[in-house]
Structure 1
Amino acid sequence: MFDQDAMLWDEWADTYNEKSLGPAAPVAAVLAELAAGGPALELGIGMGRVALPLARHGVPVTGLDVSTKMVRHLAERTGDLPVDYRLADMASFTLPGRHTLVYVVASTFYLLASAERQQGCLNCCGRALMAGGRLVVEASVPGSAALPLESGVIPRAVDEGVAKLSIVLHEAQTQLLHSQEVRLSADGTSLRKVTRRYVHLDELDQMAAFAGFTLEARYNGWDRTPYEDGQERHISVYSVPGQLGGGLGEG
């Protein structure tokens, strides 16, 4: 699985569009507060969309990723910022030292395509945190407009000389969404398959509890508007037992 994921994201590294995920400044501001001055760990650091602005807040960041090409791009952008990375599977990792914050954003958690791998990830997160440390999970809400649970064809972009679309197959029993990301251009057609396992909020809370976490807060956005049923995105903040500085002030 690690090798397959690495090959996929290496293929995407040169064309991956970070801007489609929205501005990172508000994300980094909230995470910096939650890190309470301590070191942070990002799962799926990619090219540093969040890690770099978080490091500019003075938070040392270590990131995990499976893609050599992604972290190569990251290294080119890091400069003197306190950002480090490890090539590792986020479902099974061990790191020296402990962190005050672990975070995984932009539905990256769903790329762990089985309940066992997702639980393994949360277990590793618990071991990577200091007493009182926090875990932040940002993801689309299954069944919302942001993550429809149905098979079909979804147009993504139509630009001069290029069109992008997703062909999606939904497996309800396994909670899997298999998508073929298609890019059509004068240069030819490219296909990249992605499999995601979505997680409903009650299941995520149960998995987190099994790993030793307690839910502290759940937001709809990085302005920390409280989450309400039916919204498209959640930002869930969990903690492990203990005392850590830094609060959960309202936005």
Structure 2
Amino acid sequence: MRPAEQSPRPGYTTEFAEEYDRWFGKPRTTGATVTALAALAGDGPVLELGIGTGRIALPLRERGLPVYGVDSSAKMVRQLRAKPLGSEIPVTEGDFADVPVTGRFTLIYLAGGTFGELRDQESQSRCFVRAAGHLETGGVFVLDGHVPEALAAATGPDIVSEGDGHLVLCYRRLDPAVQHYRSHYVIHEDGRTRHLRVDFRYAGCGELDLMAQRAGLRLKERWGDWSGAPFTRDSASHVSVYERP
């Protein structure tokens, strides 16, 4: 069993579950993500690792794709189940690094930086290997993430969400010695302020490509974001699409 401090998706799965969609479900980003994934999926079936509240999975299901999920948080999955069509998506509770499902898929994906929640190289590499084993020939494994150099250059907090009566700020602090960064979320709502810390492991594109190669996958495409913008020297994030030959 993995030590408790290494379990994926710490803290915010309980703190954020009821507010996750309101704070993080930006319609433009969600729409672009769903459109890109639907184009890659063919007729499916599709598997989301870290399915959470179903922000991405449910719109894919609405497009007629058979969607499955894995998540370690029962509270996040309860939010999924409470939504229309949420009960129609089979979800396996467990560590998504292990991809604890049966069957093969045309598309396996992680979105919203979820891959970084696997906080050591071994678990990230294992996720690649296990995902590759569940892909159809020609199927794709897709993930997004920050470009480490852009993370290191960023200054000041980002506004995650704001509205009448609430403000959510995020500040990231890097530890290059262990390729970790900690996201500090400051949440002010209803006159109350909370501070939540969430840890991630970042990996550069070269390291990800090597993990993919060792898992028997090859890089098919890399974009600067989910809209399909080119990946360039100025890109702050990436979407990497790996194919099983």
TM category (shorter chain) comes to 0.7 to 0.9
Partner of 2:25: 19
* Structure-2 change in CA distance of 1:174 and 1:7 (3 Å): closer
State whether residues 60 and 82 of structure 1, in contact with CA within 8 Å, keep that contact through their aligned partners in structure 2. no
State whether residues 64 and 88 of structure 1, in contact with CA within 8 Å, keep that contact through their aligned partners in structure 2. yes
State whether residues 110 and 198 of structure 1, in contact with CA within 8 Å, keep that contact through their aligned partners in structure 2. yes
Partner of 2:100: 94
In 1, distance between residues paired with 2:69 and 2:145? 18
Partner of 2:197: 193
Q: How much does 1:142 deviate?
A: 1.9
Q: How much does 1:239 deviate?
A: 0.8
Aligned length: 238
Matching of residue 85 in structure 1 with residue 91 in structure 2: yes
Q: Residues 41-88 of structure 1: CA distance to partner in whole angstroms, max 9, x if unpaired?
A: 111111111111111222111111121111111111142885221211
1:30-41 equivalence runs, <5 A: 30-41=36-47
What stretches of structure 1 of length at least 5 have no aligned partner? 242-251
In 1, distance between residues paired with 2:70 and 2:38? 18
Q: How much does 1:194 deviate?
A: 0.4
> What's the TM-score, normalizing by structure 2?
0.86
Partner of 2:177: 173
User: Secondary structure of 2:233's match?
Assistant: coil
Partner of 2:217: 213
State whether residues 58 and 86 of structure 2, in contact with CA within 8 Å, keep that contact through their aligned partners in structure 1. no
Partner of 1:72: 78
Partner of 2:239: 235
What stretches of structure 2 of length at least 5 have no aligned partner? none
Q: Residues 167-223 of structure 1: CA distance to partner in whole angstroms, max 9, x if unpaired?
A: 543211111112332223454332221001111111110111111110011112334
Using the TM superposition, name which of 217-226 and 83-92 deviates more: 217-226
Higher helix share: 2
1:55-204 equivalence runs, <5 A: 55-79=61-85, 82-144=88-150, 147-148=151-152, 154=157, 156=159, 161-185=165-189, 187-204=191-208
Partner of 2:54: 48
> What's the TM-score, normalizing by structure 1?
0.84
User: Secondary structure of 1:143's match?
Assistant: helix
Alpha-carbon RMSD: 2.4
